[in-house]
Amino acid sequence: MLTKERITEYIRNLENQERELRNAIENHTVTLHAVSGAIQAAKHLLSLSEEEKNEGEKVGDEE
């Protein structure tokens, strides 16, 4: 189950990735690594959201 702390940590990581991407764009030094990292972080957060949604549905089914 996702904890508030874990979700907060992933959001913080995404915010850091966003900041790095913005800096890279401003400096015209966007690298494949920076873009790839941001995409992977977003995908990971989405998968966590799906897991939480599925767990919520399981709990709802049991009631």
Query: Given this model, what pLDDT does residue 53 score?
Result: 67
Evaluate whether 24 touches 30 at the Cβ level (below 8 Å): yes
The Cα–Cα gap between 36 and 56 comes to 30
Query: Given this model, what pLDDT does residue 30 score?
Result: 66
Tokens of residue 26, six digits: 């401003």
Query: Given this model, what pLDDT does residue 57 score?
Result: 62
Q: Which residues of the chain carry a pLDDT beneath 50?
A: none
The Cα–Cα gap between 10 and 8 comes to 6
* Number of domain units in the chain: 1
Q: Between 32-62 and 4-26, two packed helices, what is the crossing angle to 10 degrees? A: 160
Residue range(s) defining the domain that contains residue 21: 4-62
